[in-house]
């Protein structure tokens, strides 16, 4: 049509917001472009009769534009949902574009094939287990770390001041002051109660440990006494003596000096001489 030629001459020679120029080829960023190239056949603005295939949320649609609906922008594009079955979808494209240009029919079929292929790949990748890449916000982590350090320092200072004030209160330095906050006083009392409970628990645990030690020592003593008794019984059994041995020891008097009496007849002259 003459109107389409005028539109294309303006877009091609002057300016188009969808055109992207490169050294080798000019591309089109219009979402209804059939091929993605900036040319007379594939321009959706310079063609009053135009068709394309688009995918929305996993569903493929056929969009058609005719010259009769140019006066109604809200009804400019007719939208036809294509079947999930490949053969049925191709038949729908043929049926809806029966008397259209052969180039538009072929390009719509090619675009439909490409869209179905990348939808299949998307489904496979989604079903396959993949590693999730989580970006690390180093600046945020550094900022949070600094805040935590500052909060710790402030908490230490507050605790030191609170301890010092509590010690002074216990010492009686603030006898005439009665307007200190009740919440701080209650908190201090709660902390003292918790400390007392912890001390009691520690004392109970120590007592239990001491009782266990005493029990173990008693067991060791009993065992040692029983072993000592067994050893003593064994020694008594080895050193035991019979009555016969006692009798023989009493009867035998070896090593003792015995005196014998000599008769007077035994004396002789020789003996007197010897005595002299």
Average pLDDT, the chain: 77
66 part of a folded domain: yes
**Residue 199 shares a structural domain with residue 150:** no
Q: What is the distance of C-alpha 87 from the center of its chain?
A: 50
pLDDT of residue 112: 92
Q: Is the pLDDT of residue 147 over 90?
A: yes
Is 267 domain-assigned?
no
For residue 94, being part of any structural domain is answered with yes
Q: Residue 103 corresponds to which tokens in the numbers above? A: 């180039």
Check residue 37 and report its DSSP letter: B
| Domain identity same for 17 and 123 | yes
- Between 176 and 149, residue with greater pLDDT: 149
43-59 per-position pLDDT tens digit: 888 888 889 998 988 88
pLDDT digits over 24-45, tens only?
888 888 888 888 888 888 888 8
What are the phi and psi torsion angles at 79 (to 5°)?
A: -110, 125
Q: Which residues pair with 139 in a beta bridge?
A: none
Q: What is the pLDDT of residues 74-104, one digit of tens each?
A: 888 888 898 889 899 999 998 888 888 888 8
Q: Are residues 117 and 9 in the same domain?
A: yes
How many separate domains does the chain show?
Answer: 3
Confidence at residue 199, expressed as pLDDT on a 0 to 100 scale: 78
CB 8 within 8 A of CB 19: no
Q: Is 57 left (phi over 0), alpha (psi -120 to 50) or beta?
A: left
Q: Is residue 273 part of a domain?
A: no
Residue 34 lies in a domain: yes
Same domain, yes or no: 62 and 113: yes
276 belongs to a structural domain: no
pLDDT score for 114:
92
Tell me 48's DSSP state.
S
Q: Residue 64, Cβ neighbours under 10 Å: how many?
A: 18
Q: In the numeric block, which tokens belong to residue 221? A: 């003593």
Global confidence as pTM: 0.45
User: Length of the chain in residues, anyone?
Assistant: 276
Residue 235 pLDDT exceeds 50: yes
Percent of the chain with pLDDT over 90: 9
Instruction: Say whether both 44 and 119 belong to one domain.
Output: yes
Rounded to whole angstroms, how far apart are CA atoms 26 and 23?
A: 8
The label of the residue with tokens 């006692």 reads 246
Check: CB of residue 44 under 8 Å from CB of residue 33. yes
- The predicted structure's pLDDT at residue 274: 45
As a whole number of angstroms, the distance between CA 147 and CA 140 comes to 11
């Amino acid at each position: 049509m003459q109107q389409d030629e005028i539109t294309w001459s303006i877009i091609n020679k002057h300016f188009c917001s969808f055109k992207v120029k490169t050294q080798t080829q000019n591309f089109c960023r219009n979402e209804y472009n059939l091929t993605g190239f900036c040319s007379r056949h594939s321009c959706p603005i310079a063609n009053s009769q135009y068709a394309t295939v688009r995918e929305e949320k996993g569903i493929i649609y056929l969009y058609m534009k005719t010259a009769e609906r140019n006066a109604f922008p809200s009804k400019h594009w007719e939208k036809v949902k294509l079947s999930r079955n490949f053969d049925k979808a191709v038949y729908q494209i043929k049926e809806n574009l029966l008397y259209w240009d052969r180039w538009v029919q072929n390009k719509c079929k090619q675009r439909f094939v490409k869209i179905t292929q990348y939808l299949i790949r998307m489904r496979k990748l989604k079903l396959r287990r993949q590693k999730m890449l989580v970006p690390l916000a180093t600046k945020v982590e550094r900022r949070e770390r600094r805040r935590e350090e500052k909060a710790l320092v402030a908490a230490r200072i507050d605790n030191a001041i609170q301890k010092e004030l509590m010690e002074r209160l216990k010492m009686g330095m603030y006898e005439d002051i009665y307007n200190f906050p009740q919440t701080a006083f209650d908190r201090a009392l709660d902390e003292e109660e918790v400390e007392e409970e912890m001390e009691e628990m520690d004392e109970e645990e120590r007592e239990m440990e001491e009782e266990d030690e005493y029990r173990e020592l008693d067991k060791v003593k009993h065992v040692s006494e029983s072993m000592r008794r067994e050893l003593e019984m064994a020694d008594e059994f080895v050193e035991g003596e019979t009555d016969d041995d006692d009798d023989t020891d009493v009867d035998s008097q070896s090593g003792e000096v015995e005196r014998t009496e000599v008769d007077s007849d035994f004396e002789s002259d020789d003996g007197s001489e010897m005595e002299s």
